[in-house]
């Protein structure tokens, strides 16, 4: 349920908060003084599906569905709309981990990337198509597992993803010029080999040519 808050309530919420992420239109993610995270979503002015179901509502719904499928994702504690700033928002508990992007900046660790490739194959086998799957949105948790953030753009299937969607998700993974630098340095083919190693032989044979063709189209 989305509650409506005024500008005074919003300013009280972010008082003494730390900026975690900022974009051209303003702050996108705050770290609140009590350790919770506040993520803001711009209200779209044009006609789109986001006018019917806000990105904040999608974020909460998708995070809940991910957890039901055994994937760690934020637990939303509050969802609001503030007309004064033209933003929807969610407040959630911070996941205990570090973005994969930051770890890859220190060097492409093949062991770490092998574990990530296994995790990505698990997502796909569970029918999860996370379009924003770049390393900035994947956390290495304190216990060595992985979790997802920024989950407003996730699709769910009742069966494992086919070869076409898996190849498309690989393109998303390598596409971000900001967040995927470390992964690009490791290389498409090397990471694809790690991913294919995690699959059953029959699926590996079907998918390998699709990933090879997709890799040749990478910029």
Domain endpoint, select from 93, 112, 134: 93
Residues 129 and 101 in one domain: yes
Q: What is the pTM of this model?
A: 0.90
Residues 58 and 151 in one domain: no
Mean pLDDT for 26-38 is 95
Domain endpoint, select from 93, 116, 133: 93
Domain that holds residue 210: 97-216
> In angstroms, how far is CA 209 from the centroid of its own chain?
26
Residues 70 and 108 in one domain: no
Q: Model confidence over 38-76: pLDDT tens digits?
A: 999 987 655 444 456 899 999 999 999 999 999 999 999
Residues 136 and 57 in one domain: no
How many domains are contained in the chain?
A: 2
- Looking at the chain, the number of H-run helices and the number of E-run strands are 8, 11
CA torsion 169-174-180-181 (nearest 10°) is 170
Owner of token pair 């009590």:
34
Asked whether residue 96 carries a pLDDT value surpassing 60, the answer given is: yes
pLDDT at residue 193 in the model: 96
- What is the distance between the alpha carbons of residues 155 and 142, in angstroms, rounded to a whole number? 27
Asked whether residue 140 carries a pLDDT value surpassing 70, the answer given is: yes
Residues 198 and 114 in one domain: yes
Q: What share of the chain is helix, strand, coil (3-state, %, to 5)?
A: 45, 25, 35
Residues 65 and 104 in one domain: no
Residues 74 and 115 in one domain: no
pLDDT at residue 216 in the model: 80
């Amino acid at each position: 349920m989305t509650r409506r808050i005024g500008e005074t309530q919003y300013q009280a919420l972010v008082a003494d908060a730390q900026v975690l992420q900022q974009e051209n239109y303003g702050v996108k993610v705050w770290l609140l003084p009590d350790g919770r995270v506040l993520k803001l979503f711009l209200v779209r002015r044009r006609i789109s599906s986001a006018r019917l179901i806000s990105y904040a509502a999608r974020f909460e719904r998708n995070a809940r569905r991910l957890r039901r499928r055994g994937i760690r994702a934020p637990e939303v504690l509050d969802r609001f709309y503030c007309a004064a700033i033209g933003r929807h928002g969610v407040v959630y508990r911070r996941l205990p981990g570090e973005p994969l992007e930051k770890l890859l900046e220190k060097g492409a660790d093949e062991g770490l990337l092998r574990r990530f490739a296994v995790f990505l194959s698990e997502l796909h086998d569970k029918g999860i198509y996370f379009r924003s799957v770049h390393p900035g949105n994947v956390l290495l948790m304190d216990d060595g597992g992985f979790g997802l953030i920024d989950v407003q753009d996730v699709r769910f299937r009742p069966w494992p993803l086919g070869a076409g969607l898996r190849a498309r998700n690989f393109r998303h993974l390598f596409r971000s010029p900001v967040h995927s630098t470390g992964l690009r340095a490791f290389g498409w083919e090397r990471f694809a080999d790690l991913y294919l190693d995690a699959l059953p032989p029959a699926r590996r044979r079907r998918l390998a040519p699709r990933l090879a063709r997709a890799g040749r189209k990478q910029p």
